[in-house]
Amino acid sequence: MVGKKWLQLVKSLHQKKYRNQHQLFFLEGTKAVNAVLNAGFSAEKILVYEDMEAMFPLPQTETITENELKKISALQHASGVLGVFGIPPPKQVDKEDWIIALDDVRDPGNLGTLIRLCDWFGVQHLVCSPTTVDCYNPKVLQATMGSIAQVNIRYEDLSSFFEFMELPVYGALMQGKEVYTADLPSSGILLLGNEAHGISKPLQKKVQEKITIPRVGTPAAESLNVAMAAGILLNEIRRR
């Protein structure tokens, strides 16, 4: 059975400061835990219900009761599988393909969906401003559905990053060239902004090409959700 120490540790990992302190995160669900294990993440502990123990034949696996898991789970209905993993060091970003950059994206669900979109469209590198929500937030991880294991995520000052990479920066803005007629190269940086305020003015100055998704008709919506916009833009980038 799992010890009190591990229950307390997992509970603390709900908070970013303790994830940073211990360099650990947790995620839940059989599919997500297997995806991270298969990607080579370092497993510190796998907590499972007794009848699911055979699914994870690892030295790190321990059984946990339903009542214990409810106390530490980030889910409304605990799935029966919770893994604690070491946070991997970010990899270097290469210039051979498109990179997604996020400026102050705050909603965990949006970031999780954006990570999942990167996985789906084969975008290996996601670079976030320091004010973007932590990618190891339990709500982010839940939304990634295991895709966290497939995408290299870095947190950096975006202005400095753009200068270092020397790639064209395409900013998703309300006023810009329609993405369907824009000249899209084989590699570049797609910059997406905050849910309410868009791309910050200092970073807009770093954008070489402003692109937009054209409206059709007279929609009541003022803008698209950032993750929805990213899906449309990535589809067009890959279609080329």
For all residues of the chain together, what is the average pLDDT? 95
- Report the CATH number of the 4-86 domain: 3.30.1330.30
Whether 76 contacts 107, CB under 8 Å: no
What residues contact 41, with CB distance under 8 A and at least 6 apart? 85, 86, 88, 149
Q: What is the pLDDT of residues 170-213, one digit of tens each?
A: 999 999 999 999 999 999 999 999 999 999 999 999 999 999 99
Q: Where are the domains of the chain?
A: 4-86, 99-239
In degrees and rounded to multiples of 5, residue 84 shows phi and psi of: -110, 125
In degrees and rounded to multiples of 5, residue 99 shows phi and psi of: -125, 140
- Does the pTM surpass 0.75? The reply is yes
Q: Answer whether CATH 3.40.1280.10 is correct for domain 99-239.
A: yes
Query: Is the pLDDT score of 152 beyond 90?
Result: yes
Q: What is the pLDDT of residues 203-239, one digit of tens each?
A: 999 999 999 999 887 777 778 899 999 999 999 999 9
Strand partners, 210: 171
